[in-house]
Amino acid sequence: MRVNFTVNGREQRADDVWEGESLLYVLRERLGLPGSKNACEQGECGSCTVRLDGVPVCSCLVAAGQVEGREVLTVEGLAEYAGNRAAGGGASVPGAATGEAGAGAARPGTAPHPGGSGELSPVQQAFIDAGAVQCGFCTPGLLVAADELLERVPSPSDADIREALSGNLCRCTGYEKILDAVRLAAARQEETV
């Protein structure tokens, strides 16, 4: 089947999608967006977290056909998305800012990374600065979830952070530096307001 949807603000079309394929598979293997990670395929680990029409979901549990006509935000588009939000674009997914990156089924490995402006979002920078990244496999999902939390709750309590990130497993850090990173991103966000 053919699936048309928007990824990181750009129209995408995937052809020859098998009905059993997940959104995660289409992103990784058909659209050349491997940032979302596959670690459990059961919705337990959160490594594949993306936003579907703004809502954080495990993309491994979303059938590709379900995203027809909808908007997906992945870690690859996070910096641009956060930049637009900070610039007053509200919480909407950014429009096709730099044209059609993937008209037609982009070949994996050849598609440029949409949104690669070089600027990191506050939560991405905070993850680096706070030491929240070790192996980094959980990081993309955590970033998408943490960014969504900070959009909703600009100054979250520790309990809020823990609750919001409880669907994202990390095996390296013991989570302390991840908490530090979200606190840091929140503090920096406040400074800039």
Binding residues vs other proteins (CB under 8 A): 18, 20, 28, 32-42, 44-45, 47, 74-76, 78-79, 108-109, 113, 116, 120, 124-125, 127-129, 131, 133-140, 143, 159, 161-163, 165-179
Per-residue tokens: 117 = 């402006």
Question: Closest separation between CB of residue 134 and other proteins, Å?
Answer: 4
Least distance in Å: CB of 124 to other proteins? 4
Closest to other proteins by CB, 88 vs 102, is 102
Q: Which of residues 6 and 74 has its CB atom nearest to other proteins in the complex?
A: 74
N-term to C-term CA, the chain:
45
Phi, psi of 5 (to 5 degrees): -160, 175
Specify the DSSP element, H or E, that contains 12.
Answer: strand 10-14
Count CB-CB contacts under 10 A for residue 25: 21
Min. distance of Cβ 54 from other proteins in angstroms?
A: 19
Min CB(13)–other proteins separation in Å: 19
Question: By C-beta, is 93 or 178 nearer to other proteins?
Answer: 178
d(CA 52, CA 93): 10
Q: Do residues 47 and 172 touch, judged by C-beta distance below 8 A?
A: no
CB atoms within 10 A of CB 36: 23
Question: Closer to other proteins at the Cβ: 89 or 167?
Answer: 167
